[in-house]
Structure 1
């Protein structure tokens, strides 16, 4: 088995070398008259940032694998080099850095042509990079960049004996709502070791679409147990979530720093607020992102109300976004917001308010200092 794993690693290395052959020779055409290995690498990092990120993450993944083997008294298997060393040992890179190649480069070099080629190629690559960034941002748009309070609970629950395929998919969906070292490491481990095809592919596609290095492991050989081929659609409703909240499930273990009470029309504002609060280390609850697997607008019912009440109970505090969409004077524009505010008051929890109307209306909330444009929310009481 170790020999097979090493051969697969070497095979992937060769494929990466081949994939980078054309990009590297394109870069060689825009190098200045004099260049060295560091300059070549800097051009590659600038013009092919995702390819460089793949190299960096791949090296780290296999270094961690060797570290794990060593900690268990076994021989290291991959001996993965540093990203820089990996780059410098690519055959095309060694060729471009050879004296003979540099000599030919100087013989054909024309500064004016080089400058024009560089600008054209840089613009072309910039468009490609923007497209890739747009794809990644689209996939990660609703993910919170913070470590959730309950991440360890989810990991333990995943490995509990008797957990179903549906249960594992639910945990993957919950972990996929956050971007932090623990969740990324979790997806890598599932992609490596999980024997159920659907679950393993879910982890792989999450990593890939998030812009991370990932290699899809093929189906395990040998006789397949029924568990390995089980699938689930995971087509959930508010009723399903309420049922989970009434039992001792992972949904009961969740905790949030802030419950965001808002108008759906302020979706972009909500994203900005969550991003600001994540940087403060706060996990936020927003119904259409935090519970999007269960709460569907086409299935709104009394069960939805029960879910929102429970999520407020699981939150330390509520933050009301007061805008023209959510409130007119002292009148709340949405029965959902009114429900959330009243339930929070019933629980005796603090209600904080980001006031974007600033119309001097007196309300029984704690108005906080904020500057959304400059990405700042302070929990200090706003001066009257």
Structure 2
């Protein structure tokens, strides 16, 4: 299957771009009279915090994958742009950051309408944010927040060729119990 990982990455990147285009469409109505890319990023992080966190995690993941290829003298596969560059490169962002759009927006700007739209978005997003936060908190309660010394050995056993499917399931179930950076990056 040549190019499978590259296609997976491109699908991932296209999904990110599509999702963030929709998020920006939702926040256009609550932009201030004078706005820039930083204010758009701030509003995105305020109303879509977990989505932004996922974007940052994917950026870190693909950068880590590229860093692993460099010492092996292999061609870098992904070259994922930084999250801010992804947002800047979206068609909708280019459109709303254009001078003509900004001037038109400033002429038609209504502070009361902006505050009203912000309240509507807040009412829509807060339950969703709280629901995700509750799920994360529940998962953290179930997991132990320690990093036992045997985690490295378990992860090493998982990747051995002689490890059976049954052993892999057991290792997976055992690792699922711990909440630490090693386990998160393993999954």
Instruction: Give the structure 2 partner of residue 112 of structure 1.
Output: 112
Instruction: Give the structure 1 partner of residue 83 of structure 2.
Output: 83
Which structure has the bigger radius of gyration?
1
Aligned-pair CA distance for 1:3: 4.4
Instruction: Give the structure 2 partner of residue 47 of structure 1.
Output: 47
Cα RMSD over matched residues? Answer: 1.8
Aligned-pair CA distance for 1:19: 2.0
Count of aligned pairs: 187
Matches within 5 A, 1:21-170: 21-170=21-170
Aligned-pair CA distance for 1:51: 1.0
Please report the TM-score for the alignment, with normalisation by the length of structure 2.
0.90
Maintained 8 Å contact 2:30/2:114: yes
Cα distance between partner residues in 1 of 2:69 and 2:2? 11
Matches within 5 A, 1:272-311: none
Query: Which consecutive unaligned segments of at least 5 residues does structure 1 have?
Result: 188-384
Maintained 8 Å contact 1:69/1:76: yes
Maintained 8 Å contact 1:17/1:91: no
Higher relative contact order (CA 8 A, sep 6+): 2
- Larger strand fraction of residues: 1
- Larger helix fraction of residues: 2
Aligned-pair CA distance for 1:122: 1.7
Displacement over 3 Å in runs of 4+ = 1-5
Aligned-pair CA distance for 1:2: 6.3
Determine if the alignment matches structure 1 residue 171 to structure 2 residue 171: yes
Please report the TM-score for the alignment, with normalisation by the length of structure 1.
0.46
CA separation of 1:145/1:84 partners in 2, compared to 1, >3 Å: closer, same or farther?
A: farther
Matches within 5 A, 1:189-200: none
Name the SS for the 2:170 alignment partner.
helix
CA separation of 1:118/1:69 partners in 2, compared to 1, >3 Å: closer, same or farther?
A: same
